Amino acid sequence: MERRIPVVVIGDVKETDKICRALKASGINTAEITFRTPCAADAIRYAASAFPEMEIGAGTVINAEQCERAIASGARFVVSPGFSSGVADVCRAAGVPYYPGCATPTEIMAAVSAGFDVVKFFPADLYGGIKALKAFSSVFPHVRFIPTGGVSAENEAEFLSQKNVAAVGGTYLVKDALERFGGENE
């Protein structure tokens, strides 16, 4: 797993190429394309086909039907804002990694009970950020977190320095990549 996972919101499939190229130019070979827009499955399909060297995943997956569409489109990992047993079942059957969103000890325990030891910590800023991650490290020493929601270029290094942080995610990675490398290709 790459340590920086861009959360990509695609409003038009035509944006996919430019965003993936900018991410690659930034040294990032992962993209979590969210199911926040109607074209998400098509964007995943395009990115998985046009950028096979990238780890293309699906984010904001909230039910089994979306998960099936994401995997059928080529998603190689699935992320949810919360825990869904339906999504977990689809991912298990397909052999695709699933990172359920967890923000409280009860949610983390439910994910662990379901067999997951890497979870999305969302929204990190609203649920205590680094202080919460430090507290979780003693209670859940075997769980690794992917904080999103409040992670930025300014605090990314601090989050990544935590022993229990597997990766960080956020839309800021896309914004930074596009600002630096989003010009039209020659």
**Catalytic residue list:** 32, 120
SS3 label, residue 180 = helix
Q: How far apart, in Å, are the Cα atoms of 161 and each of 6, 31, 133, 165, 168?
A: 18, 22, 11, 8, 11
CA atoms of 43 and 47, how far apart (whole Å)? 6
Closest CA to 120 of 87, 136, 144, 155: 144
Closest CA to 95 of 118, 76, 69, 121: 76
Q: What is the DSSP letter of 185?
A: P
Q: What are phi and psi of 146, to 5 degrees?
A: -120, 90
* DSSP secondary structure letters along 83-115: --HHHHHHHHHHT--EE-EE-SHHHHHHHHHTT
